Chains A and B, each alone.
Chain A
């Protein structure tokens, strides 16, 4: 090995590193450019939207005055949605187990539940639960009635998500668990559900974001959430458009907030199974 060869190799190495660095640099620049362009598009569309709204002849002073009052509904909206999605998850789990069951009674109950609930409008379910339960002697307030209705409704849709998650677990694993002598409960708890959760959580977050907006339907029962507040203030002042736009804005902001966590959760859940998307590494 002569010194000249050694130097040559070194120089070559440096060259390769430089090229690599240049590639990374270029990729980073392209990424930044992309993000900037997207931001620009958003700003332009938002500006156009503002111009359109300006044509609506809105009373901005009035909007500013009642903005804090309407904003107070955000808490109620989020609170109802969270409790509803929790009850929906419980129902969806049992729904999915019934849907996959070989027992005709369980299977029948689950499929009937899914069929009826997916086949009728949410607003009908809200009223039927609110008006119907007291006739059987079960008097519940507007908030729990709304939570039950939302939970039952979303539970039916989410049953399919849970079923898909459970079915995605390989047969081999289940057979292995059986051969180890695990009971059905142990099999579900130790093998199937921990893995299924990975597949279930991202779409559930999506359902939650949809529910945030559907929760507006409980306003008819007299729950002081975002939409209720906007409607009442709007009506009595003959300025419904103004207040509804405020409510819409808050629904949007809350959605953006939860969407951020939803996408982070999704990335986390996918760690190790999915190819890293985007930059990094």
Chain B
């Protein structure tokens, strides 16, 4: 192999590489969606009734219906992708999908990597214990206990004394639970609930998750009950990737659509369909 040839090959490939990166600069994301005629939405299909697989194995739920409505109002078709939750909240989606409509809580930390729309609904953060438990009656009783929760959730941040929760929208937060002995982090909230179902205190004493998850679990026969009032309400919103040009513009556009859906009763209708009660109005 002669050196000249090798060097030339090296330079040529470097040149191609440069050309590639330069040509990869996009127009705004909103223009991309319009020109593709398709809105690609990421959803975390782990939570009924927000986003789950129905009996036919299709994506279904509140988030899914909201996404379809957003696409309709943008005048484009919809496509769903289902990457891991950690990949969604980490940002830098590389234009693989345009928007997350996946019950993401607005937080200060996440705002660094994604642009949030205004909230489309609210979920209560609540503690739950095994049905047979008799010792944990109030939130104060969690002192010295082990609590399970999903990785990368606001619940994890809430129980971490070193971190500021920083929930958007000036939500009132009850920092009543401070001295838990240990936090056990699971892939999602659902694994925490299943571990609690093993028995009172077998692996964990309680969970911190969405009130809706506790409700759904109880409905599906898991021995679980809520403790105390919700410690805070999470405003949930759509998010777009800050690294992509035109991200803020898309978030603004989605906010306008949500505003209209709040006003004309579409969101309330979907809330009644999936939850059986109103979740789209801000709690007091």
Q: Report which A residues bind B (CB closer than 8 A).
A: 65, 69, 72, 103, 105-106, 130-131, 133-139, 141-142, 220-222, 224, 228-229, 232-233, 235-238, 240
Q: How far is the CA of A68 from the CA of B53 in the complex (A)?
A: 13
What's the nearest-Cβ distance from chain A to residue B275, in Å? 15
* Selected contact of B190 from candidates A131, A228, A236, CB within 8 Å: A236
Q: How far is the CA of A251 from the CA of B95 in the complex (A)?
A: 33
* A235 and B46 form a contact (CB under 8 A): yes
What's the nearest-Cβ distance from chain B to residue A94, in Å? 14
- Chain B hits for A69, CB < 8 A: 53, 57
* Selected contact of B21 from candidates A130, A137, A221, A222, CB within 8 Å: A137
Interface: B227 (CB within 8 A)? no
- Which chain A residue shows the least CB distance to B96? A139
Interface: B81 (CB within 8 A)? yes
* A135 and B92 form a contact (CB under 8 A): yes
What does DSSP make chain B's interface, helix, strand, loop or mixed?
loop
Q: Report which B residues bind A (CB closer than 8 A).
A: 1, 6, 17, 20-21, 23-24, 42, 45-48, 52-53, 55, 57, 81-84, 87, 90, 92-96, 188, 190-191, 193-194, 197, 217, 220-222
- Which chain B residue shows the least CB distance to A237? B220
- Which chain B residue shows the least CB distance to A228? B82
What's the nearest-Cβ distance from chain A to residue B38, in Å? 14
9 residue pairs, one from A and one from B, having the closest CB atoms: A134-B94, A137-B24, A222-B83, A235-B190, A222-B82, A236-B52, A220-B84, A69-B57, A137-B21
Q: How far is the CA of A69 from the CA of B53 in the complex (A)?
A: 10
* A238 and B81 form a contact (CB under 8 A): no
- Chain A hits for B194, CB < 8 A: 238, 240
- Chain A hits for B6, CB < 8 A: 105
Listed by A's residue number, 8 A-B pairs whose Cβ atoms lie within 8 Å are A136-B20, A139-B24, A142-B96, A221-B87, A222-B81, A222-B82, A236-B190, A238-B221
* B83 and A142 form a contact (CB under 8 A): yes
- Chain A hits for B220, CB < 8 A: 237-238
- Chain A hits for B96, CB < 8 A: 134, 139, 141-142
- Which chain B residue shows the least CB distance to A104? B1
What's the nearest-Cβ distance from chain B to residue A69, in Å? 4
What's the nearest-Cβ distance from chain B to residue A77, in Å? 16
- Which chain A residue shows the least CB distance to B50? A236
Q: Which of A131, A224, A228, A238 has the most CB of B within 10 A?
A: A238
What's the nearest-Cβ distance from chain B to residue A25, in Å? 55
* A224 and B24 form a contact (CB under 8 A): no
Q: How far is the CA of A235 from the CA of B221 in the complex (A)?
A: 14
- Which chain B residue shows the least CB distance to A127? B87
- Chain A hits for B23, CB < 8 A: 137
7 extra A-B contacts, CB within 8 A, seeds A136-B20, A139-B24, A221-B83: A69-B57, A135-B94, A136-B21, A138-B24, A139-B94, A224-B82, A235-B190
What's the nearest-Cβ distance from chain A to residue B150, in Å? 10
- Chain B hits for A141, CB < 8 A: 96
Q: How far is the CA of A232 from the CA of B46 in the complex (A)?
A: 6
- Which chain A residue shows the least CB distance to B189? A235
What's the nearest-Cβ distance from chain B to residue A277, in Å? 45
Q: How far is the CA of A171 from the CA of B45 in the complex (A)?
A: 58
**A235 and B191 in contact, given A137-B20, A138-B20 (Cβ under 8 angstroms):** yes
Q: How far is the CA of A130 from the CA of B55 in the complex (A)?
A: 31
Q: How far is the CA of A233 from the CA of B52 in the complex (A)?
A: 8
Q: How far is the CA of A228 from the CA of B83 in the complex (A)?
A: 10
